[in-house]
Amino acid sequence: MDYEEVKLIAGNSNPALARLVSNIIGIPLTQSTVTRFSDGETQVEIGESVRGRHCFLIQSTCPPTNEHVMETLIMIDALKRASAKEITAVMPYYGYGRQDRKVSPRAPITAKLVADLLQTAGATRIISMDLHAGQIQGFFKIPFDHLYATPVMLNDMRARFEIGDNLENDLVLVAPDAGGVERTRAFAKRVGAGLAIIDKRRAGPNVAQVMNIIGDIEGKRAIIIDDMIDTAGTLTNAAEAVASRGANGVWAYATHPVLSGPALDRIESSALKKVIVTDTIPLSEPCQASLKIEQLSVSGLVAEAIRRIHTDESVSTLFV
């Protein structure tokens, strides 16, 4: 790629991922500073000319989400006012993605609000990965490229569990809830594994939640597939349920490691052997030190998507 035409800009949310993408593409990160006034207001300054360039702003809106959303909007505005030709917001993790519909009569649809803010600020394209709800793409009137961490996870899964070309194995992939069935089925098909589904329900108010497992688990290595791990309550409860049904070990794969609140403690004390996540969100130091958590990088996938978008090549063929 000709970096005379392209500028890569890193926000404060995930500089390590931005550096990896920069190294892969071979384009240095554009000089920029993001600071805060004494009252907490964000100040941004782009240190190089971006006039007439295609700018890719790499910034996950991960915790602290409000700060990183505001930082993203201000950086986009700065690029627009500096006469950037195009501004692509590369958001591997889309904050507020779980608030994609009204769940009560007077609730907001915050995922749509964030979409409106990004477009108003001046973004001309969005790249994100493994949205909590795919229909969020419809909140935008600008192009939206939805990436999937599937290739990165499948490569690791094949190596870790020694999955051969004949696809005969003792694996069963587990959807932690009904909403994750489609995602889990796609993984299971690619690795020749069985499929199980956890059905969660309460018999009545203040009655403990019962987890029914649909599928053959006993004596098999079970892998739970999810898009994100927040407090890890759903994940660890699912792991305990699977283990109690006679699984020969329980692992988990998830794209976004939010890992807030008691998540780490829950994972450490759970039946899970390993939790494999990606670097769409940086891990805290305690999570990095955990022997149960491993992190894969999606930098190669993001870098290739950026290259293809700039050269007007197909992005969807990355996942064929």
pLDDT band at 1 (very low <50, low <70, confident <90, very high): low
- Report whether 98 contacts 136 (CB < 8 A): no
Active-site residue, selected from the candidate residues 85, 200, 273, 274: 200
Residue 85 a catalytic site member: no
The full set of domain ranges for the chain reads 6-148+299-319, 150-296
pLDDT at 4 over 60: yes
Helix (H, G, I), strand (E, B) or coil at 124: coil
Residue found by looking up tokens 């098909």 in the block: 189
pLDDT at 277 over 60: yes
For residue 299, how many other CB atoms are within 10 A of its CB? 23
User: Quick one: pLDDT at residue 204?
Assistant: 57
CATH number of this structure's domain 150-296: 3.40.50.2020
- The tens digit of pLDDT for each residue in 27-64 reads 999 999 999 999 989 999 999 999 999 999 999 999 99
Average per-residue pLDDT in the chain? 92
- The tens digit of pLDDT for each residue in 59-118 reads 999 999 999 999 999 999 999 999 999 999 999 999 999 999 998 899 999 999 999 999
DSSP code string of 281-298 = SPPPHHHHH-SSEEEE--
- The tens digit of pLDDT for each residue in 57-68 reads 999 999 999 999
pLDDT average, residue stretch 198-207:
64
Whether 150-296 and 6-148+299-319 are alike in CATH topology: the answer is yes
Instruction: Please tell me the distance from the alpha carbon of residue 205 to that of residue 216, in angstroms, as a whole number.
Output: 30
Q: Give me the torsion for CA of 303, 309, 312, 315, rounded to 10°.
A: 80
User: Quick one: pLDDT at residue 111?
Assistant: 96
Q: Strand pairing of 32-36 and 42-46?
A: antiparallel
Q: Which residues pair with 34 in a beta bridge?
A: 44
pLDDT at 236 over 60: yes
pLDDT at 165 over 90: no
Q: Does domain 6-148+299-319 have CATH number 3.10.620.30?
A: no
Q: What is the pTM of this model?
A: 0.92
User: Quick one: pLDDT at residue 103?
Assistant: 87
